[in-house]
């Protein structure tokens, strides 16, 4: 498929995918306000590098919504600065990728949707049990 055709398909399908994602995912986690505030502070140390219509990225974003995690989403497909940051920091332009800044300042670049979801559940969902 030509690059032009891919761009046309992307422009047509992206809004549909976005709406379906928003309408099809609900927050399933209820937290006390203090706990949610702590989680929101922790999420400031995270950023998801993604492409809007990538199915694996959608999978991660749905889990973020389900867990009520306000993680910054960075479009590495359309934003050249985010694409370059992903390439320089993570070593490759592959999405989804979660950038994690640990308490000691060390930066980790976590690839693979399933691994990202496991990380998010362990870090944020286990406190609900």
**What's this model's pTM, rounded to 2 decimal places?**
0.79
Q: Running DSSP on this structure, what letter comes out for residue 49? A: E
- Looking at residue 30, its pLDDT comes to 82
Residue 3's Cβ-count burial label (10 Å; 0-12, 13-18, 19+) is exposed
- Give the C-alpha separation, 94 to 107, whole Å: 17
**Tens digits of pLDDT across the chain (129 residues):** 566 655 555 566 656 555 555 555 566 778 899 999 999 999 999 999 999 999 999 999 999 999 999 999 999 999 999 999 999 999 999 999 999 999 999 999 999 999 999 999 999 986 554
- Looking at residue 24, its pLDDT comes to 58
- Looking at residue 12, its pLDDT comes to 61
Rounding to the nearest 10 degrees, give the CA dihedral for residues 9, 12, 15, 18: -30
- Give the C-alpha separation, 70 to 54, whole Å: 19
- Looking at residue 119, its pLDDT comes to 98
Q: Which of 46, 82, 51, 77 is nearest to 64 (CA)?
A: 46
């Amino acid at each position: 498929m030509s690059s032009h055709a891919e761009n046309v398909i992307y422009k047509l399908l992206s809004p549909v995918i976005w709406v379906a994602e928003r309408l099809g995912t609900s927050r399933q986690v209820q937290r006390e306000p203090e706990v949610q505030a702590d989680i929101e502070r922790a999420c400031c140390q995270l950023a998801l590098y993604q492409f809007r219509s990538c199915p694996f990225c959608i999978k991660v974003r749905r889990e973020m919504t389900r867990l009520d995690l306000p993680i910054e989403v960075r479009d590495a497909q359309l934003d050249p600065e985010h694409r370059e940051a992903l390439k320089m920091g993570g070593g490759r332009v592959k999405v989804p990728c979660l950038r994690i800044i640990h308490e000691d300042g060390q930066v980790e670049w976590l690839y693979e949707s399933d691994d990202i979801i496991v990380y998010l559940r362990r870090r944020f969902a286990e406190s609900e049990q």
